[in-house]
Amino acid sequence: MSSKLPEIPQQKRSSILKSSFRRRWPFLIWAGMIALSVWLYQHGGDYMRINGMVEIVEETVSPLQTGRVTKIHVFAGEPVVSGQIVAEMDTTLIDQEMAALSEEIEKTRAEDERQLASAEQRLTAELREIELDWATDKAEARIYSTEIERLETLVERGLVTAAEVLREKSRYEALKERIILYPSQIREINNERKQFSNLRSRIFSEPSTSSLSTFKLLLQEKENLTLRANQAGIVSQIKSRPGDVIRAGDTVVRIVTERQTKILAFMNESDTRSADVGDIVQAHPAIGGERFDVKVTAVSPNILALPDRASPIPNHVVRGRRIELIPLEPVTLSPGASIIIILPQTRLW
C-alpha cells in the first residue's frame, strides 16, 4: 500500500475571482446605480430652471374724445418713429366751429373798424374846427389891436369915451387868452388820434383775448384728433378701420416700442434659492438658441399670488416672486418670446 496522497487539482485564483464576479454583477450594478442616484440627488439640484418671457412694452394710440376714424396711415409690422402720424379722426365739427368763430371775429373786426373810423372822423372834424377857430381868433385879434389904437386916438380928441376903449381891450385880452389855448387843444387831439391808430393796429393784428383763447382751444382739439406715435417702435395691431366710430380712450393702433430688452420671470415660493439684485446667471430661448448671460435687476420684495390656469382646482394660485433680468450683451429676442433662466440653487441640507 502506497503512502503517497492523491493530488487534488487546485483552481487558479483568477478563475475563482471571475466566477465570483459573474455571480455578483447584478448586485454591483444596482449598488452603482444607487450611488449614482444619491450623487445626482445631492448634486443634480445645483441648478434650477425657471420660465420667463421677453417683456412686451406696448403703446396704445387712442383719441382723447369720441369720434370717427377717417384715415389709417400705417399697417401691421411697419416701423414708426416718435411723432409720426398713424391715424386721423374726423374734424368736421371742429372745422365748422372754427369757421363760425372766424366769421364772428371778422364781424367784430368790422364793427370795431366802423367805430374807430367814426371816432377818427369826429376827431378830424374837431381838429379842423379848432384850427379854423384859431385862425379866426387870430384875425379878430389883429383887427381888435388896430381898432384899439384907432379908438385911443379918438379918446385923445374927445370923440369917444375911455369906457368904450376899455370894453374893446377886455374883448381883445379874452381873445388872446383863447389863442394861447389852441395849441394845447390841438396837441391833445393829435395824441388821441395817435392812440386810435395804435388801438387799430392792436385790434386788427390779433383777435380779442376771449376769441383767441377759444380759437387756440379749437386748434388743440383738432390737433388731438391727429393720432401720433409717442415712441419709436413697430406697429403690432390695427384695431380700427376708417369709418369706425370709437369712444375716447379706445385703442386705434398698438405699437411695440423699442426699449432695452427685459426678461420677466416668476420663481415659485417653494424654490430653495432666492435670486438677488446684481446676480449674473444664464438664460436661453425656450425654442432653440444659445445661452447668454443676464443680470438680475429687480426682485419683488413680497410674495405674489398669481392664478394658476393650468391647475384643475378652481381658484388655485401659485405663489412666488417676480424677477426682472436684462442681457449683458445685445441679443435678438422677439417680444413675448419664452426664455429659460438657469439659476444656481443651494439645497437646505
Q: pLDDT of 313-347, one tens digit each?
A: 566 677 888 889 989 888 888 888 888 888 876 54
What is the pLDDT, as a whole number, of residue 288? 78
**pLDDT for residue 88 is more than 90:** yes
Mean pLDDT computed over every residue of the chain: 79
**pLDDT for residue 228 is more than 90:** yes
Residue 278 Rama label (left phi>0; alpha psi -120 to 50; beta):
left
Mean pLDDT, residues 12-36: 60
Q: What are phi and psi of 61, to 5 degrees?
A: -90, 115
- Non-local CB neighbours of 263 within 8 Å, separated by 6+ positions: 52, 53, 54, 55, 283, 294, 324, 325, 326, 327, 333, 339, 341
Mean pLDDT, residues 168-191: 86
Cα(318)–Cα(298) distance, integer angstroms: 20
Find out whether 296 and 277 touch, Cβ atoms under 8 Å: yes
Query: Mind listing the pLDDT tens digit for each residue in 286-296?
Result: 887 788 999 99
What is the pLDDT, as a whole number, of residue 347? 41
Cα(322)–Cα(341) distance, integer angstroms: 13
What Cα–Cα distance (Å) separates residue 135 from each residue in 130, 145, 163?
A: 9, 15, 28
Entry pTM: 0.53
- Contacts of 21-25 with C-beta under 8 Å, sequence gap 24+, read none
Burial 61-96 (b: 16+ CB within 10 A, else e): bbbeeebbbeebebeeeeebeeeeebbbbbbeebee
Comparing 207 with 304, which gets the higher pLDDT? 304
Comparing 312 with 298, which gets the higher pLDDT? 298
